[in-house]
Amino acid sequence: MDSTKQDQVAKSTPPEASASSSCSCGTDAAGAELAASRPPSEGHTSNSLRNEVRVWTRDLLIAIGLALVIIVFLYQPVKVEGTSMAPLLSDQERIFINKFVYRFTSIERGDVVVFWYPLDRSKSFIKRVIGLPGDTLEMRQGTLYVNGNVVPEPYVPLRYEDFSNFGPVSVPKDSYFVMGDHRISSNDSRVFGAVENKFIYGRAVFAYWPVDHFGSLAITDAQSK
């Protein structure tokens, strides 16, 4: 009970009662400080805790809802099968692909893309873009030449290089030449040809399992694995 409330009670008390209870009411400054320092009631603490729990629960549900919306409509979790993209991606690795990125940006050389397999539309493949529309590609003893110029490939370890020759070939309009980083163990555009733009539906952006591969899938990530 605060000092203001005590003053109101004191004014409504008869004189004789006021005199006899002056010690217990405590209407002076010390009494006011004592009243103000009393801990809140158990009911008040319980209500405050419940309100805080409700706020945290609401915020958590909103965060989960937003995360689900982002995953469902923007990103898609996929499982890698095979070793054609080793060492960047391993067999059974779990990654996220961005399904909308190519609606706003163009496909670039070096992108790791997911596409419908040209020889069987029920299957999806994941490879790296090596050639862009209009490019002329050639492989000479494991070295990539694009339009007559050597293109460094730091993502292809020496032990995974294919030292045979290939090409030259020209990439058709609206198509992309794709290859696996594990060159000696990859079924790619050297076999089934360039992939039309309409069949490419996402770019690999993030690995989340196993934990030692957790992180962004940048072009040069293979160098650190």
Q: Could you give the residue numbers annotated as active site?
A: 84, 127
Q: Which residues of 165-186 are buried (b: 16+ CB within 10 A; e: fewer)?
A: ebeebebeeebbbbbbbbbeeb
Q: Residue 204, Cβ neighbours under 10 Å: how many?
A: 23
d(CA 164, CA 210): 33
Q: Is residue 91 a contact partner of residue 80, using CB atoms and an 8 Å limit?
A: yes
Instruction: Name the β-bridge partners of 116.
Output: 124
One-letter amino acid of 35: A
d(CA 197, CA 193): 13
Decide: helix, strand or coil at residue 40: coil
d(CA 217, CA 224): 11
